[in-house]
Amino acid sequence: MNTIELNGPIIKSLLDIDFYKFTMGQVVFNKYRHIPVVYGFTNRTKSVLLGQHISEAELREQLDHARTLRFGNSELHYLRGTNEYQERMFSEDYLQFLKHLQLPEYELTYHQGGAFTLRFPGKWSEAIYWETIALSIVNELYYRSLLKKMTRFERDAVLATGVVLLESKVDRLLTQPQITFSEFGTRRRFSRAWQYYVADVMAHELPGQMIGSSNTYIAMEQNLLPIGTSAHEMYMVMSGVGQNTDEAILASHNQTLQDWWEQYGWGLSIALTDTYGTDFFFRDMTAEQAAAWKGLRQDSGDPIAFGEKAIAFYEGHGINPKDKLIIFSDGLDIDKIIEIHHRFDGRIKTSFGWGTNLTNDLGLKPLSLVVKAIESNGRPTVKLSDNMAKATGPADQVARFKRVFGHVVAQAFACTY
């Protein structure tokens, strides 16, 4: 078993980042590289005041260290060799851009009482790479702070609890050999070492079922499929790229899908559905897109209800849902995975992107941290989601976007950052 690292750099490679940062990054590099954006860090776990656990000095030290990193030759070789979705999917222009990339400057302010503001302004094509790196750093510093207060044995017991809980997941999945899943836990991981351990165990204990990792470094190390398509930020930033009219904002959603298809075609054509609510998504995706795209990713709301809607959506367009795939990735645990799988078995293909509960289940409460694109081209962004607790944006803009996207919910609130 790996040992716990209480000190030292958290990010050691720029490949220790979710693969979708590259798939999105290339589209951004090709079409929107100079769009100014701001990413903002938010701690949704209000009961934990992170600044009381993490000092400004150590947070700066880790962020500064990440800024010293560059892509190495072998790392670029790995990306250049990626052919799982499309031959030579990353262009040489883009790889040369990565070769010279340095993470842009960050803005960090500590406030009285234990809160801090952490923002990443910059060109979209450069600031985009901070997200999972910043999340990995804040998470691990937080858990290091808890571990440092423990005795050596208490730390052993945390790791042991993690192993025992991991064993129960392995044992359950061994009884369900038809279920496949990927590790999606970079952003909420307990620590780098623990995520790597979990991925290593899953890859070796469940070789036919654990098919990929969202973490590019882990995918490389474990010979797994690097998994990732696009995130909410793609739609959110796109809402600010065009004119500031309702029509332009409405059109930006489908433009996002069109840009994606243009870049990657069928290979990476999994659409994230909930940025402005799934009901809107199913109105916005055309029959041609529905027929062409490989499938959908579900990331908020009720997964069973979503799956039923998706099946009805495809059938409504005369498309056989059995030819389509849903990747479920919202707050999964082993019970949900098994339930969802059996619910849709034989009706639509399913796979699972298993995050927090896979890489941060050691008996300590996980944090709900996000880094979201909060400004695009000088305008605030909005996310509505299928779960109002995940909605972001200033209240007036949330109201506007709800109107624009025909979003109907019984109860809504906006979460300002």
Show the site string, 189-218: x = touches its own copies by CB under 8 A, - = not.
------------x--xx-------------
Q: At what angle do helices 130-148 and 56-68 cross, to 10 degrees?
A: 140
Chosen residue from 149, 153, 207, 410 binding its own copies by CB under 8 A: 153
Task: Measure the CA–CA gap between 227 and 365, rounded to whole angstroms.
Answer: 26
Chosen residue from 48, 101, 160, 248 binding its own copies by CB under 8 A: 160
For the CA atoms of the chain, what is the radius of gyration? 21
Q: What is the amino acid identity at position 332?
A: L
- 295 in Cβ contact with 321 (< 8 Å): no
**Binding residues for its own copies, how many (CB under 8 A)?**
19
Residue among 277, 267, 350, 369 at smallest CA distance from 307? 350
221 binds its own copies (CB under 8 A): no
Q: Which stretch binds its own copies (CB under 8 A): 90-98, 129-137, 152-160, 235-243?
A: 152-160
Nearer to its own copies, 170 or 292 (CB): 170
Q: Using CA atoms of 94, 100, 103, 105 in order, give the dihedral in degrees to the nearest 10.
A: -120
Chosen residue from 40, 162, 295, 301 binding its own copies by CB under 8 A: 162
User: What six digits make up the tokens of 179?
Assistant: 């279920």
What is the β-pairing status of strands 379-380 and 369-376?
antiparallel
Nearer to its own copies, 159 or 179 (CB): 159
Report, in Å, the least distance between residue 1 CB and its own copies: 5
Q: Is 170 exposed, middle or buried (0-12, 13-18, 19+ CB in 10 A)?
A: middle
Handedness of CA 11, 17, 21, 23 (dihedral sign): positive
User: What six digits make up the tokens of 45?
Assistant: 């776990």
Report, in Å, the least distance between residue 360 CB and its own copies: 16
Report, in Å, the least distance between residue 212 CB and its own copies: 19
150 binds its own copies (CB under 8 A): no
152 binds its own copies (CB under 8 A): yes
Report, in Å, the least distance between residue 349 CB and its own copies: 29
Report, in Å, the least distance between residue 151 CB and its own copies: 7
Binding site for its own copies (CB under 8 A): 1, 151-154, 156-157, 159-164, 166-167, 170, 201, 204-205
